[in-house]
Amino acid sequence: MSGEEMEASISRQFADTVMEGKDIAGAMEALATADAVCFDVDSTVITEEGIDVLADSLGKGPAVAAWTLQAMEGDTKFQDALSARLQIMKPSRSDVQTCLQNHPLQFSPGIKTLVSTLRSKGIEVYLVSGGFRDMIDPVAEALGLDPSTHVLANSILYDSDGNYAGFDTTEHTSRDMGKPAALRYLMEEYGYENVVMVGDGATDAQAKPPARAFIGYGGVSVRENVRGAACWYVRGFEGMIAVVERFAVGRCK
């Protein structure tokens, strides 16, 4: 089935939902035939910005949130925003663990179903995030993903006492244009030809290319620059689930 036929079918199924995007048909076709789908985590897989949750737990919320907004809107280089936020917080290993214990991260509605549906069709799922592995690995595990192979994110460095000692600047997502670099790595490493990126921020939109399609997510925060860049812009995951369930045929394990 062509992308145009998929779009028409999904539009009929969700007749009360306005379909938005620069190339909805192309995005649906890419999703239905994807080798892998990569998800941003903060404000996409989960309903908050993990780094802001950590900052709030340390009493540094407003200062860090201002840098987060600049990074998401694309108003500053990502590595500059990341470094500035970490310098404000300087989180220890125990700080991160305490934050997660006191404030478990909440999943966006429908994401677990979408991930399980993709995997049931033999489509690989990755979490590609500018956030921190310490906070993202539990999210991956809850989705049935192996953090050691299916998470590309930033690593906080600690000294022998567990105190903050910087961050790993060799991670793909530690710098500007990190997400396209992460997707290129996956494509080269595993031979993927068709990868789709899903996320809410400007750094996610940067991932096309090499992603065949960028699906923008506005279920938590609507960013107009991201909305304008998206091949398909969604406010929930129901439409994506329907595309995968109905059209991702012949990929079952």
The residue extents of the domains of the chain are 3-47+106-247, 50-102
Q: Is 146 assigned a catalytic role? A: no
Three-class secondary structure assignment of 169-233 = CCCHHHCCCHHHHHHHHHHHHHCCCCEEEEECCHHHHCCCCCCCEEEEECCCCCCHHHHHHCCEE
| Residue 103: C-alpha distances to residues 52, 53, 90, 96, 134 (Å) | 12, 8, 19, 10, 14
In this predicted structure, what is the pLDDT of residue 1? 83
Residue of 35, 42, 95, 134 marked catalytic: 42
- What confidence tens digit (pLDDT) does each residue in 38-58 have? 999 999 999 998 888 999 999
The pLDDT of residue 89 is 94
The pLDDT of residue 253 is 47
pLDDT tens digits, one per residue of 198-227: 999 988 999 999 999 999 999 998 999 999
Residue 132 backbone phi and psi in degrees, to 5: -110, 135
Rounded distance between C-alpha atoms, residue 40 and residue 67, angstroms: 18
Is 42 annotated as catalytic?
Answer: yes
Higher pLDDT, 73 or 206: 206
Question: For 17-26, what is the mean pLDDT?
Answer: 93
The residue with greater pLDDT, 3 or 213, is: 213
CA 151/CA 133 separation, integer angstroms:
8
- Tell me the per-residue pLDDT of 81-138, one tens digit each, with 9 for 90 and over: 888 889 999 999 999 999 999 998 899 999 999 999 999 999 999 999 989 999 999 9
pLDDT value of residue 15: 84
Active-site entry in 16, 23, 40, 137: 40
Cβ-based neighbour number of residue 221 at 10 Å: 16
pLDDT of 37 over the 80 cut: yes
Three-state SS for 31? helix
Q: Which fold has domain 3-47+106-247?
A: Rossmann fold (3.40.50)
Joined tokens for residue 101: 């214990």
Rounded to the nearest 10 degrees, how much is the dihedral formed by the CA atoms of 104, 105, 106, 111? -130
Kindly state the percentage of the chain with pLDDT values over 90. 77
